[in-house]
Structure 1
Amino acid sequence: MKLSARLLALVLFASLAACSSVPYKNIDRFPNIVGGDKVRADDILVKKVVLILGTTQMGGRGYCTGVMIDKDVVLTAAHCINSAIKKYYVIPHIDMSPESGFDRVTHSIPVTNWILHEEYLDDGNKHFNDVALLKLEKAVPEDYVPVPLYDGKAKLSEQEVTLAGYGRTSETSIDASYLRSTTKSLKNVLVNYKGEKGAMYLTEGEIRGACEGDSGGPVFYKVNGEYQLAGVISTTFGPDAMTYCHGIVKAMYVPDYIPWIEKNKPRLNH
Protein backbone atom coordinates (compact mmCIF):
# COMPACT_ATOMS: atom_id res chain seq x y z
CA MET A 1 0.00 0.00 0.00
CA LYS A 2 2.85 2.38 0.70
CA LEU A 3 4.18 2.06 -2.84
CA SER A 4 0.72 2.45 -4.38
CA ALA A 5 -0.04 5.55 -2.34
CA ARG A 6 3.27 7.06 -3.28
CA LEU A 7 2.71 6.40 -6.95
CA LEU A 8 -0.73 7.98 -6.84
CA ALA A 9 0.58 11.04 -5.04
CA LEU A 10 3.30 11.61 -7.60
CA VAL A 11 0.96 11.13 -10.53
CA LEU A 12 -1.24 13.93 -9.19
CA PHE A 13 1.67 16.38 -9.14
CA ALA A 14 3.44 18.07 -12.05
CA SER A 15 4.36 16.00 -15.06
CA LEU A 16 5.98 16.61 -18.42
CA ALA A 17 6.05 14.58 -21.59
CA ALA A 18 9.58 13.48 -22.28
CA CYS A 19 9.85 15.08 -25.72
CA SER A 20 11.89 18.23 -26.21
CA SER A 21 12.80 20.98 -28.63
CA VAL A 22 15.90 23.14 -29.00
CA PRO A 23 16.81 26.16 -31.15
CA TYR A 24 18.81 25.60 -34.33
CA LYS A 25 22.06 26.89 -32.85
CA ASN A 26 21.90 24.15 -30.20
CA ILE A 27 21.24 21.27 -32.57
CA ASP A 28 24.48 19.58 -31.52
CA ARG A 29 24.02 20.21 -27.79
CA PHE A 30 21.20 17.83 -26.90
CA PRO A 31 21.02 16.50 -23.33
CA ASN A 32 20.82 12.79 -22.23
CA ILE A 33 19.02 10.17 -20.02
CA VAL A 34 18.84 10.53 -16.21
CA GLY A 35 21.33 8.57 -14.10
CA GLY A 36 22.67 6.70 -17.09
CA ASP A 37 25.97 5.93 -18.71
CA LYS A 38 27.13 6.61 -22.23
CA VAL A 39 26.49 3.55 -24.36
CA ARG A 40 29.76 2.09 -25.63
CA ALA A 41 30.28 2.00 -29.38
CA ASP A 42 30.42 -1.82 -29.29
CA ASP A 43 27.22 -2.17 -27.21
CA ILE A 44 24.35 -3.92 -29.00
CA LEU A 45 22.02 -1.09 -27.92
CA VAL A 46 23.73 1.20 -30.42
CA LYS A 47 22.25 -0.84 -33.27
CA LYS A 48 18.69 -0.77 -31.95
CA VAL A 49 17.96 2.78 -30.75
CA VAL A 50 17.79 5.90 -32.95
CA LEU A 51 17.32 9.63 -32.62
CA ILE A 52 14.22 11.20 -34.21
CA LEU A 53 14.74 14.77 -35.39
CA GLY A 54 11.93 17.08 -36.47
CA THR A 55 12.32 20.40 -38.28
CA THR A 56 9.77 23.22 -38.31
CA GLN A 57 8.89 25.72 -41.04
CA MET A 58 10.66 28.46 -39.06
CA GLY A 59 13.89 26.51 -38.64
CA GLY A 60 13.28 25.16 -35.14
CA ARG A 61 14.18 21.63 -34.12
CA GLY A 62 12.55 18.99 -31.93
CA TYR A 63 13.78 15.55 -31.01
CA CYS A 64 12.72 12.24 -29.52
CA THR A 65 14.06 8.69 -29.31
CA GLY A 66 12.86 5.67 -31.27
CA VAL A 67 13.41 1.92 -31.54
CA MET A 68 13.96 -0.07 -34.72
CA ILE A 69 11.35 -2.82 -35.00
CA ASP A 70 12.08 -3.44 -38.69
CA LYS A 71 14.85 -2.33 -41.03
CA ASP A 72 12.77 0.66 -42.14
CA VAL A 73 10.17 0.99 -39.36
CA VAL A 74 10.56 2.83 -36.05
CA LEU A 75 8.30 2.58 -33.00
CA THR A 76 8.12 5.76 -30.94
CA ALA A 77 5.71 7.88 -28.87
CA ALA A 78 2.69 9.44 -30.57
CA HIS A 79 3.28 12.79 -28.89
CA CYS A 80 6.60 13.03 -30.76
CA ILE A 81 4.55 13.73 -33.91
CA ASN A 82 3.63 17.39 -33.82
CA SER A 83 1.63 19.47 -36.28
CA ALA A 84 4.30 22.19 -36.11
CA ILE A 85 6.93 19.84 -37.52
CA LYS A 86 7.50 20.06 -41.28
CA LYS A 87 9.84 17.10 -41.74
CA TYR A 88 11.09 14.18 -39.64
CA TYR A 89 14.39 12.36 -39.85
CA VAL A 90 15.76 9.26 -38.14
CA ILE A 91 19.43 9.34 -37.19
CA PRO A 92 21.10 5.96 -36.54
CA HIS A 93 24.17 7.36 -34.80
CA ILE A 94 25.42 7.03 -31.24
CA ASP A 95 26.84 10.54 -30.91
CA MET A 96 25.56 13.78 -32.43
CA SER A 97 28.34 15.99 -31.07
CA PRO A 98 30.58 17.92 -33.51
CA GLU A 99 33.64 15.98 -32.31
CA SER A 100 32.20 12.60 -33.35
CA GLY A 101 32.32 13.19 -37.08
CA PHE A 102 28.53 13.16 -37.22
CA ASP A 103 27.04 14.87 -40.25
CA ARG A 104 23.31 15.52 -40.15
CA VAL A 105 22.94 15.40 -43.94
CA THR A 106 24.72 12.10 -44.56
CA HIS A 107 23.59 10.31 -41.40
CA SER A 108 19.89 11.27 -41.47
CA ILE A 109 17.17 9.14 -43.06
CA PRO A 110 13.95 10.98 -44.00
CA VAL A 111 10.66 9.72 -42.60
CA THR A 112 8.13 9.24 -45.41
CA ASN A 113 5.02 8.25 -43.47
CA TRP A 114 3.73 7.78 -39.93
CA ILE A 115 0.71 6.42 -38.13
CA LEU A 116 -0.41 7.47 -34.65
CA HIS A 117 -2.60 5.29 -32.50
CA GLU A 118 -6.18 6.28 -33.28
CA GLU A 119 -7.02 6.44 -29.56
CA TYR A 120 -3.97 8.47 -28.54
CA LEU A 121 -4.97 10.99 -25.88
CA ASP A 122 -3.07 13.79 -24.18
CA ASP A 123 -5.13 14.95 -21.22
CA GLY A 124 -2.53 17.50 -20.14
CA ASN A 125 -1.26 15.36 -17.28
CA LYS A 126 -0.85 11.88 -18.73
CA HIS A 127 -0.71 10.31 -22.16
CA PHE A 128 -2.76 7.28 -23.21
CA ASN A 129 -2.09 4.98 -26.19
CA ASP A 130 1.04 7.04 -26.78
CA VAL A 131 2.54 5.01 -29.64
CA ALA A 132 3.33 5.73 -33.28
CA LEU A 133 4.99 4.00 -36.23
CA LEU A 134 7.40 5.76 -38.60
CA LYS A 135 8.31 4.59 -42.11
CA LEU A 136 11.79 5.41 -43.37
CA GLU A 137 12.77 6.38 -46.91
CA LYS A 138 15.40 3.64 -46.81
CA ALA A 139 16.58 0.94 -44.45
CA VAL A 140 18.99 1.68 -41.63
CA PRO A 141 22.57 0.38 -42.02
CA GLU A 142 22.92 -3.39 -42.33
CA ASP A 143 24.47 -3.78 -38.86
CA TYR A 144 21.30 -2.46 -37.20
CA VAL A 145 19.19 -5.29 -35.81
CA PRO A 146 15.43 -4.80 -35.29
CA VAL A 147 14.22 -5.46 -31.75
CA PRO A 148 11.77 -8.33 -31.08
CA LEU A 149 8.58 -7.30 -29.31
CA TYR A 150 8.05 -8.84 -25.88
CA ASP A 151 4.85 -10.91 -25.93
CA GLY A 152 4.06 -10.57 -22.23
CA LYS A 153 4.47 -14.31 -21.62
CA ALA A 154 8.11 -15.27 -22.18
CA LYS A 155 10.16 -15.92 -19.05
CA LEU A 156 12.64 -13.17 -18.28
CA SER A 157 16.31 -14.06 -17.92
CA GLU A 158 17.18 -10.96 -15.85
CA GLN A 159 15.47 -9.05 -13.05
CA GLU A 160 16.43 -5.65 -14.43
CA VAL A 161 14.95 -3.50 -17.16
CA THR A 162 17.01 -1.23 -19.40
CA LEU A 163 16.05 2.27 -20.54
CA ALA A 164 17.85 4.10 -23.34
CA GLY A 165 17.53 7.48 -25.00
CA TYR A 166 19.02 10.76 -26.12
CA GLY A 167 17.23 12.87 -23.48
CA ARG A 168 18.39 15.11 -20.65
CA THR A 169 20.45 13.90 -17.70
CA SER A 170 18.58 16.36 -15.45
CA GLU A 171 15.92 19.05 -15.57
CA THR A 172 18.52 21.76 -16.28
CA SER A 173 21.31 19.89 -18.07
CA ILE A 174 22.85 20.83 -21.41
CA ASP A 175 24.91 17.77 -22.35
CA ALA A 176 26.38 16.54 -25.63
CA SER A 177 23.88 14.49 -27.65
CA TYR A 178 25.00 10.98 -26.85
CA LEU A 179 22.96 7.79 -26.46
CA ARG A 180 22.80 6.75 -22.82
CA SER A 181 21.20 3.88 -20.95
CA THR A 182 20.32 3.00 -17.40
CA THR A 183 18.78 0.07 -15.56
CA LYS A 184 16.02 -0.28 -12.99
CA SER A 185 14.92 -3.24 -10.90
CA LEU A 186 12.04 -5.28 -12.26
CA LYS A 187 10.42 -5.10 -8.81
CA ASN A 188 9.89 -1.38 -9.40
CA VAL A 189 7.89 -1.96 -12.60
CA LEU A 190 4.09 -1.90 -12.37
CA VAL A 191 2.16 -3.14 -15.42
CA ASN A 192 -1.51 -2.20 -15.98
CA TYR A 193 -1.46 -0.36 -12.66
CA LYS A 194 -4.97 0.02 -11.25
CA GLY A 195 -6.42 -1.44 -14.43
CA GLU A 196 -4.84 1.05 -16.81
CA LYS A 197 -4.40 -1.26 -19.79
CA GLY A 198 -1.45 -0.55 -22.04
CA ALA A 199 0.59 1.25 -19.37
CA MET A 200 3.64 0.41 -17.32
CA TYR A 201 5.02 2.58 -14.53
CA LEU A 202 8.67 2.53 -13.49
CA THR A 203 8.84 3.76 -9.92
CA GLU A 204 11.79 4.72 -7.71
CA GLY A 205 13.02 7.25 -10.26
CA GLU A 206 14.96 9.60 -8.01
CA ILE A 207 18.34 8.40 -9.29
CA ARG A 208 17.66 6.60 -12.55
CA GLY A 209 14.98 7.47 -15.07
CA ALA A 210 14.04 9.46 -18.16
CA CYS A 211 13.72 13.10 -19.08
CA GLU A 212 12.96 15.38 -22.03
CA GLY A 213 14.13 13.84 -25.30
CA ASP A 214 13.73 10.23 -24.12
CA SER A 215 10.14 10.00 -25.39
CA GLY A 216 9.69 7.01 -27.66
CA GLY A 217 12.77 5.35 -26.23
CA PRO A 218 12.81 1.72 -25.12
CA VAL A 219 12.16 -0.15 -21.93
CA PHE A 220 13.89 -3.46 -22.59
CA TYR A 221 13.36 -6.80 -20.89
CA LYS A 222 15.81 -9.63 -21.47
CA VAL A 223 14.58 -13.04 -22.62
CA ASN A 224 17.25 -15.74 -22.97
CA GLY A 225 19.82 -12.97 -22.77
CA GLU A 226 18.26 -11.10 -25.70
CA TYR A 227 16.82 -7.59 -25.54
CA GLN A 228 13.10 -7.50 -26.22
CA LEU A 229 11.01 -4.35 -26.33
CA ALA A 230 8.57 -4.23 -23.40
CA GLY A 231 7.80 -0.52 -23.23
CA VAL A 232 7.89 2.81 -25.07
CA ILE A 233 8.78 5.77 -22.84
CA SER A 234 5.95 8.30 -22.71
CA THR A 235 5.89 10.61 -19.69
CA THR A 236 7.82 11.48 -16.55
CA PHE A 237 6.24 12.53 -13.25
CA GLY A 238 7.80 14.39 -10.35
CA PRO A 239 6.63 16.18 -7.21
CA ASP A 240 7.20 19.64 -8.76
CA ALA A 241 8.42 21.46 -11.86
CA MET A 242 12.06 21.25 -10.74
CA THR A 243 12.16 17.48 -10.24
CA TYR A 244 9.93 16.04 -12.95
CA CYS A 245 12.83 13.97 -14.32
CA HIS A 246 13.51 12.38 -10.94
CA GLY A 247 10.21 10.66 -10.34
CA ILE A 248 8.10 8.04 -12.07
CA VAL A 249 8.45 7.07 -15.73
CA LYS A 250 5.29 6.06 -17.56
CA ALA A 251 5.72 3.87 -20.64
CA MET A 252 3.33 2.17 -23.03
CA TYR A 253 3.35 -1.60 -22.41
CA VAL A 254 4.26 -3.13 -25.76
CA PRO A 255 2.50 -6.54 -25.43
CA ASP A 256 -0.83 -4.71 -25.35
CA TYR A 257 0.01 -2.94 -28.62
CA ILE A 258 1.30 -5.85 -30.69
CA PRO A 259 -2.04 -6.33 -32.51
CA TRP A 260 -2.10 -2.61 -33.37
CA ILE A 261 1.51 -2.70 -34.57
CA GLU A 262 0.96 -5.75 -36.76
CA LYS A 263 -2.21 -4.25 -38.22
CA ASN A 264 -0.66 -0.87 -39.04
CA LYS A 265 2.83 -1.73 -40.25
CA PRO A 266 1.53 -2.68 -43.74
CA ARG A 267 -0.44 0.60 -43.89
CA LEU A 268 2.81 2.57 -43.76
CA ASN A 269 3.45 1.59 -47.38
CA HIS A 270 0.27 3.30 -48.64
Structure 2
Amino acid sequence: MSAWRGGRSALRRPARRAAVCGQSVISPRIVGGNPAPEGAWPWQVSFMENNKPICGGSLINEKWVVSAAHCFTKGYEQYDVLLGAYQLSIPPSSLVVTTVQQVISHPNYNNIDGSPGDIALVELKAPLDLNDYILPVCLPDSSAQFSMDTSCWVTGWGQVKDGEALPPPQTLQELEVPLIDQDTCNSLFNSAPAPDLPQNPVLDDMICAGYPEGGKDACHGDSGGPLVCRCDAGWTLAGVVSWGEGCAEPKHPGVYTLVPYYANWISDNVPNISFVAYIGDQTCDLLHARQMLLC
Protein backbone atom coordinates (compact mmCIF):
# COMPACT_ATOMS: atom_id res chain seq x y z
CA MET A 1 0.00 0.00 0.00
CA SER A 2 2.84 2.39 0.74
CA ALA A 3 4.15 1.93 -2.81
CA TRP A 4 0.80 3.10 -4.17
CA ARG A 5 0.85 6.17 -1.97
CA GLY A 6 4.41 6.97 -2.95
CA GLY A 7 3.73 6.72 -6.67
CA ARG A 8 0.40 8.49 -6.70
CA SER A 9 1.64 11.96 -7.60
CA ALA A 10 3.16 10.68 -10.86
CA LEU A 11 -0.20 9.35 -12.10
CA ARG A 12 -2.59 11.46 -14.17
CA ARG A 13 -5.91 12.05 -12.40
CA PRO A 14 -9.15 11.56 -14.37
CA ALA A 15 -11.32 14.64 -14.89
CA ARG A 16 -13.69 15.53 -12.06
CA ARG A 17 -17.41 14.78 -12.30
CA ALA A 18 -20.54 15.97 -10.54
CA ALA A 19 -22.03 13.71 -7.88
CA VAL A 20 -24.77 11.90 -9.84
CA CYS A 21 -25.48 8.52 -8.29
CA GLY A 22 -25.62 5.15 -9.98
CA GLN A 23 -24.04 6.16 -13.30
CA SER A 24 -21.33 4.14 -14.98
CA VAL A 25 -19.47 5.11 -18.14
CA ILE A 26 -19.28 1.40 -19.03
CA SER A 27 -22.11 -1.14 -18.88
CA PRO A 28 -21.42 -4.70 -17.66
CA ARG A 29 -21.06 -7.16 -20.51
CA ILE A 30 -19.79 -10.42 -19.02
CA VAL A 31 -21.95 -12.83 -17.00
CA GLY A 32 -20.75 -15.51 -14.58
CA GLY A 33 -17.94 -14.61 -12.23
CA ASN A 34 -15.65 -13.01 -14.80
CA PRO A 35 -13.39 -9.96 -14.84
CA ALA A 36 -15.38 -6.73 -14.96
CA PRO A 37 -14.67 -4.04 -17.55
CA GLU A 38 -12.56 -1.26 -16.07
CA GLY A 39 -14.75 1.56 -14.78
CA ALA A 40 -17.98 -0.46 -14.85
CA TRP A 41 -18.52 -0.25 -11.08
CA PRO A 42 -17.15 3.14 -9.94
CA TRP A 43 -18.66 2.92 -6.42
CA GLN A 44 -16.71 -0.26 -5.60
CA VAL A 45 -14.46 0.12 -2.54
CA SER A 46 -11.81 -2.24 -1.19
CA PHE A 47 -10.71 -2.33 2.45
CA MET A 48 -7.13 -3.60 2.47
CA GLU A 49 -4.98 -4.96 5.29
CA ASN A 50 -1.31 -5.77 4.61
CA ASN A 51 -1.96 -5.50 0.86
CA LYS A 52 -4.78 -8.06 1.01
CA PRO A 53 -8.46 -7.34 0.23
CA ILE A 54 -10.38 -7.95 3.45
CA CYS A 55 -13.80 -6.51 2.63
CA GLY A 56 -15.62 -4.46 0.05
CA GLY A 57 -17.91 -1.47 0.26
CA SER A 58 -20.02 0.94 -1.78
CA LEU A 59 -19.41 4.67 -2.07
CA ILE A 60 -22.68 6.58 -1.40
CA ASN A 61 -21.33 10.15 -1.56
CA GLU A 62 -18.00 11.98 -1.51
CA LYS A 63 -17.23 10.99 2.08
CA TRP A 64 -19.27 7.92 3.08
CA VAL A 65 -19.20 4.21 2.28
CA VAL A 66 -21.71 1.46 3.09
CA SER A 67 -20.20 -1.88 4.12
CA ALA A 68 -20.88 -4.79 6.50
CA ALA A 69 -20.64 -4.47 10.27
CA HIS A 70 -18.78 -7.78 10.59
CA CYS A 71 -15.85 -6.24 8.65
CA PHE A 72 -15.06 -3.91 11.56
CA THR A 73 -15.37 -6.02 14.69
CA LYS A 74 -11.58 -5.80 15.18
CA GLY A 75 -11.38 -2.08 14.52
CA TYR A 76 -10.56 -0.10 11.40
CA GLU A 77 -7.23 1.65 12.04
CA GLN A 78 -5.39 -1.15 10.20
CA TYR A 79 -7.29 -0.64 6.93
CA ASP A 80 -6.36 1.26 3.81
CA VAL A 81 -9.34 2.21 1.65
CA LEU A 82 -9.01 1.88 -2.13
CA LEU A 83 -11.26 3.69 -4.59
CA GLY A 84 -10.97 3.79 -8.37
CA ALA A 85 -9.18 0.43 -8.23
CA TYR A 86 -9.43 -2.25 -10.91
CA GLN A 87 -6.47 -4.62 -10.82
CA LEU A 88 -5.10 -4.61 -7.28
CA SER A 89 -1.66 -5.75 -8.44
CA ILE A 90 -1.39 -2.95 -11.01
CA PRO A 91 -2.50 0.43 -9.61
CA PRO A 92 -4.31 2.48 -12.28
CA SER A 93 -4.16 6.25 -12.73
CA SER A 94 -7.65 6.47 -11.19
CA LEU A 95 -6.55 4.91 -7.87
CA VAL A 96 -7.11 6.82 -4.63
CA VAL A 97 -5.92 5.42 -1.29
CA THR A 98 -7.29 6.89 1.90
CA THR A 99 -8.11 5.88 5.48
CA VAL A 100 -11.11 5.71 7.78
CA GLN A 101 -12.31 8.56 9.98
CA GLN A 102 -14.99 6.58 11.83
CA VAL A 103 -17.24 3.52 11.52
CA ILE A 104 -20.88 3.46 12.62
CA SER A 105 -22.10 -0.12 12.90
CA HIS A 106 -25.78 -0.82 13.33
CA PRO A 107 -26.59 -1.43 17.02
CA ASN A 108 -28.51 -4.63 16.21
CA TYR A 109 -25.38 -6.40 14.99
CA ASN A 110 -24.18 -8.89 17.62
CA ASN A 111 -20.93 -10.19 16.10
CA ILE A 112 -22.40 -13.57 15.12
CA ASP A 113 -22.65 -14.95 11.58
CA GLY A 114 -26.21 -14.47 10.37
CA SER A 115 -26.90 -11.68 12.86
CA PRO A 116 -29.37 -8.96 11.89
CA GLY A 117 -27.99 -5.47 11.46
CA ASP A 118 -24.91 -6.50 9.48
CA ILE A 119 -24.41 -3.05 7.98
CA ALA A 120 -21.95 -0.25 8.71
CA LEU A 121 -21.40 3.33 7.61
CA VAL A 122 -17.77 4.27 7.04
CA GLU A 123 -16.71 7.92 7.03
CA LEU A 124 -13.54 8.58 5.05
CA LYS A 125 -10.78 10.90 6.26
CA ALA A 126 -11.47 13.52 3.61
CA PRO A 127 -14.01 14.13 0.82
CA LEU A 128 -13.17 12.59 -2.54
CA ASP A 129 -12.87 14.22 -5.94
CA LEU A 130 -15.38 12.32 -8.07
CA ASN A 131 -14.58 11.23 -11.63
CA ASP A 132 -15.57 8.53 -14.13
CA TYR A 133 -13.89 5.89 -11.96
CA ILE A 134 -15.03 7.10 -8.52
CA LEU A 135 -18.78 7.73 -8.30
CA PRO A 136 -21.51 6.98 -5.74
CA VAL A 137 -24.17 4.32 -6.13
CA CYS A 138 -27.84 5.22 -5.65
CA LEU A 139 -29.51 4.31 -2.35
CA PRO A 140 -33.07 2.92 -2.34
CA ASP A 141 -35.55 4.51 0.03
CA SER A 142 -37.33 2.53 2.74
CA SER A 143 -40.35 1.76 0.51
CA ALA A 144 -38.31 0.06 -2.23
CA GLN A 145 -39.31 -3.50 -3.13
CA PHE A 146 -37.18 -5.36 -5.64
CA SER A 147 -38.90 -7.75 -8.01
CA MET A 148 -37.68 -11.31 -7.50
CA ASP A 149 -37.16 -11.82 -11.24
CA THR A 150 -34.73 -8.89 -11.33
CA SER A 151 -31.17 -9.75 -12.26
CA CYS A 152 -28.67 -7.87 -10.16
CA TRP A 153 -24.88 -7.84 -9.93
CA VAL A 154 -22.38 -8.54 -7.18
CA THR A 155 -18.76 -7.42 -7.47
CA GLY A 156 -15.56 -7.80 -5.50
CA TRP A 157 -11.98 -9.00 -5.17
CA GLY A 158 -12.78 -11.93 -2.89
CA GLN A 159 -11.81 -15.57 -3.22
CA VAL A 160 -12.68 -17.29 -6.50
CA LYS A 161 -13.33 -20.54 -4.60
CA ASP A 162 -13.55 -21.34 -0.92
CA GLY A 163 -9.91 -21.10 0.20
CA GLU A 164 -8.55 -19.94 -3.18
CA ALA A 165 -7.49 -16.29 -3.47
CA LEU A 166 -8.09 -14.24 -6.59
CA PRO A 167 -4.85 -14.66 -8.63
CA PRO A 168 -2.78 -11.76 -9.99
CA PRO A 169 -3.38 -9.25 -11.38
CA GLN A 170 -6.40 -9.46 -9.03
CA THR A 171 -8.94 -8.01 -11.45
CA LEU A 172 -12.29 -6.91 -10.05
CA GLN A 173 -14.83 -9.71 -10.56
CA GLU A 174 -18.51 -9.33 -11.47
CA LEU A 175 -21.37 -11.82 -11.34
CA GLU A 176 -24.99 -11.46 -12.42
CA VAL A 177 -27.31 -13.10 -9.88
CA PRO A 178 -31.11 -13.41 -9.62
CA LEU A 179 -32.84 -12.28 -6.43
CA ILE A 180 -34.53 -14.95 -4.29
CA ASP A 181 -37.43 -14.15 -1.95
CA GLN A 182 -37.14 -14.80 1.78
CA ASP A 183 -39.50 -17.81 1.93
CA THR A 184 -37.83 -19.58 -0.99
CA CYS A 185 -34.38 -18.86 0.41
CA ASN A 186 -35.28 -20.22 3.85
CA SER A 187 -36.75 -23.32 2.21
CA LEU A 188 -33.48 -23.88 0.36
CA PHE A 189 -31.41 -23.55 3.55
CA ASN A 190 -33.83 -25.78 5.50
CA SER A 191 -33.68 -28.48 2.80
CA ALA A 192 -29.90 -28.76 3.22
CA PRO A 193 -29.41 -27.79 6.87
CA ALA A 194 -26.01 -26.87 8.25
CA PRO A 195 -25.22 -27.69 11.89
CA ASP A 196 -24.47 -24.07 12.80
CA LEU A 197 -27.62 -22.59 11.24
CA PRO A 198 -31.07 -22.30 12.83
CA GLN A 199 -34.32 -23.00 11.01
CA ASN A 200 -35.30 -20.12 8.72
CA PRO A 201 -31.99 -18.26 9.07
CA VAL A 202 -32.89 -15.56 6.52
CA LEU A 203 -34.48 -12.67 8.43
CA ASP A 204 -36.60 -9.69 7.36
CA ASP A 205 -33.57 -7.41 7.00
CA MET A 206 -31.91 -9.79 4.53
CA ILE A 207 -32.27 -10.66 0.85
CA CYS A 208 -30.87 -13.66 -1.02
CA ALA A 209 -29.33 -13.78 -4.47
CA GLY A 210 -27.72 -16.58 -6.40
CA TYR A 211 -28.39 -19.95 -7.94
CA PRO A 212 -30.06 -22.88 -6.11
CA GLU A 213 -27.75 -25.29 -7.93
CA GLY A 214 -24.69 -23.44 -6.63
CA GLY A 215 -21.49 -22.82 -8.55
CA LYS A 216 -21.69 -19.00 -8.61
CA ASP A 217 -21.64 -16.76 -5.55
CA ALA A 218 -19.84 -14.10 -3.58
CA CYS A 219 -17.09 -15.50 -1.35
CA HIS A 220 -14.66 -14.60 1.45
CA GLY A 221 -13.21 -11.15 0.88
CA ASP A 222 -16.34 -9.92 -0.91
CA SER A 223 -18.07 -9.15 2.42
CA GLY A 224 -19.47 -5.64 2.65
CA GLY A 225 -19.47 -5.23 -1.12
CA PRO A 226 -22.38 -4.21 -3.32
CA LEU A 227 -25.35 -6.08 -4.70
CA VAL A 228 -26.72 -3.59 -7.24
CA CYS A 229 -29.85 -3.60 -9.40
CA ARG A 230 -30.54 -1.38 -12.39
CA CYS A 231 -33.39 1.09 -12.63
CA ASP A 232 -33.90 4.01 -14.99
CA ALA A 233 -32.30 6.48 -12.56
CA GLY A 234 -29.14 4.37 -12.35
CA TRP A 235 -27.63 1.46 -10.43
CA THR A 236 -29.15 1.07 -6.97
CA LEU A 237 -27.67 -0.64 -3.90
CA ALA A 238 -30.11 -3.43 -3.05
CA GLY A 239 -27.88 -5.37 -0.68
CA VAL A 240 -24.57 -5.64 1.17
CA VAL A 241 -22.65 -8.93 1.03
CA SER A 242 -23.24 -10.40 4.49
CA TRP A 243 -23.03 -14.17 4.98
CA GLY A 244 -23.40 -17.60 3.45
CA GLU A 245 -22.78 -21.26 4.09
CA GLY A 246 -19.48 -21.84 2.33
CA CYS A 247 -19.16 -20.36 -1.16
CA ALA A 248 -21.44 -21.29 -4.05
CA GLU A 249 -22.75 -24.40 -2.30
CA PRO A 250 -25.98 -25.94 -3.68
CA LYS A 251 -29.14 -24.77 -1.89
CA HIS A 252 -27.10 -22.12 -0.03
CA PRO A 253 -27.36 -18.86 -2.00
CA GLY A 254 -25.60 -15.72 -0.86
CA VAL A 255 -27.34 -13.67 1.85
CA TYR A 256 -27.18 -9.88 1.78
CA THR A 257 -28.24 -7.16 4.18
CA LEU A 258 -31.33 -5.53 2.64
CA VAL A 259 -30.44 -1.85 2.22
CA PRO A 260 -34.02 -0.39 2.07
CA TYR A 261 -34.62 -1.88 5.52
CA TYR A 262 -31.94 0.48 6.88
CA ALA A 263 -32.66 3.57 4.75
CA ASN A 264 -33.96 5.61 7.68
CA TRP A 265 -30.95 4.66 9.81
CA ILE A 266 -28.62 5.72 6.99
CA SER A 267 -30.50 9.02 6.66
CA ASP A 268 -30.15 9.64 10.41
CA ASN A 269 -26.38 9.19 10.31
CA VAL A 270 -25.18 10.54 6.95
CA PRO A 271 -25.72 14.28 6.35
CA ASN A 272 -27.55 15.33 3.19
CA ILE A 273 -27.81 11.86 1.70
CA SER A 274 -30.21 11.25 -1.20
CA PHE A 275 -32.30 8.20 -2.07
CA VAL A 276 -34.23 6.81 -5.02
CA ALA A 277 -37.84 5.67 -4.75
CA TYR A 278 -39.03 2.62 -6.69
CA ILE A 279 -42.31 3.47 -8.42
CA GLY A 280 -42.65 0.29 -10.46
CA ASP A 281 -40.62 -2.60 -11.80
CA GLN A 282 -37.08 -1.29 -12.31
CA THR A 283 -38.38 2.30 -12.36
CA CYS A 284 -37.22 4.81 -9.79
CA ASP A 285 -37.18 8.55 -9.17
CA LEU A 286 -34.36 10.44 -7.51
CA LEU A 287 -35.35 11.92 -4.16
CA HIS A 288 -33.67 14.95 -2.68
CA ALA A 289 -31.79 14.61 0.58
CA ARG A 290 -33.93 13.45 3.50
CA GLN A 291 -37.21 13.64 1.53
CA MET A 292 -38.02 9.91 1.79
CA LEU A 293 -41.37 10.40 0.01
CA LEU A 294 -42.61 9.06 -3.31
CA CYS A 295 -42.65 11.68 -6.05
Indicate whether 1:215 and 2:203 are aligned: no
| Residue-by-residue CA offset, 1:62-86 (whole Å, 9 max, x unaligned) | 6100000111100000010032653
Matched AA of 1:48: W
Indicate whether 1:231 and 2:236 are aligned: no
Matched AA of 1:147: V
**Deviation at 1:214?**
0.5
* 8 Å contact from structure 2 (residues 85, 91) kept in 1: no
Q: Distance in 2 between matches of 1:134 and 1:51?
A: 12
* 8 Å contact from structure 2 (residues 151, 229) kept in 1: yes
| Residue-by-residue CA offset, 1:204-226 (whole Å, 9 max, x unaligned) | 26122110110011111111162
**Which residue, 258, 264, 274 being the options, matches 1:253?**
258
Indicate whether 1:181 and 2:174 are aligned: yes
Corresponding residue SS for 2:77: strand
Q: Which runs of 5+ in 1 are unaligned?
A: 1-33, 239-243
Q: Which runs of 5+ in 2 are unaligned?
A: 1-30, 187-199, 272-295
Aligned runs of 1:36-115 on 2, under 5 Å?
36-43=33-40, 45=41, 47-54=42-49, 63-83=54-74, 86-98=77-89, 100-101=90-91, 107-115=96-104
Supply the RMSD in Å over aligned alpha carbons: 3.0
Distance 1:72 1:201, change over 3 A: same
* 8 Å contact from structure 1 (residues 51, 65) kept in 2: yes
* 8 Å contact from structure 1 (residues 127, 234) kept in 2: no
Corresponding residue SS for 2:78: strand
* 8 Å contact from structure 1 (residues 70, 146) kept in 2: yes
Query: Which one has a larger percent strand, Structure 1 or Structure 2?
Result: 1
Corresponding residue SS for 1:229: strand
Corresponding residue for residue 18 of structure 1: none
Larger Rg: 2
User: When the two structures are superposed, what TM-score results if normalisation uses the length of structure 2?
Assistant: 0.65
Corresponding residue for residue 126 of structure 1: 114
Corresponding residue for residue 3 of structure 1: none
* 8 Å contact from structure 1 (residues 39, 181) kept in 2: yes
Q: Distance in 1 between matches of 2:218 and 2:248?
A: 6
Distance 1:141 1:134, change over 3 A: same
Q: Distance in 2 between matches of 1:91 and 1:178?
A: 14
Aligned sequence identity (%)? 24
User: When the two structures are superposed, what TM-score results if normalisation uses the length of structure 1?
Assistant: 0.70
Query: Which one has a larger percent helix, Structure 1 or Structure 2?
Result: 1
Corresponding residue SS for 2:267: helix
Corresponding residue SS for 1:258: helix
Corresponding residue SS for 1:237: coil
| Residue-by-residue CA offset, 1:39-58 (whole Å, 9 max, x unaligned) | 11142x1x111101246xxx
Distance 1:249 1:52, change over 3 A: same
* 8 Å contact from structure 1 (residues 48, 146) kept in 2: yes
Indicate whether 1:135 and 2:123 are aligned: yes
Matched AA of 1:255: P
Q: Distance in 2 between matches of 1:147 and 1:64?
A: 17
Matched AA of 2:207: M
**Deviation at 1:139?**
2.5
Q: Distance in 2 between matches of 1:168 and 1:261?
A: 29
Between Structure 1 and Structure 2, how many residues are aligned? 218
Corresponding residue SS for 1:257: helix
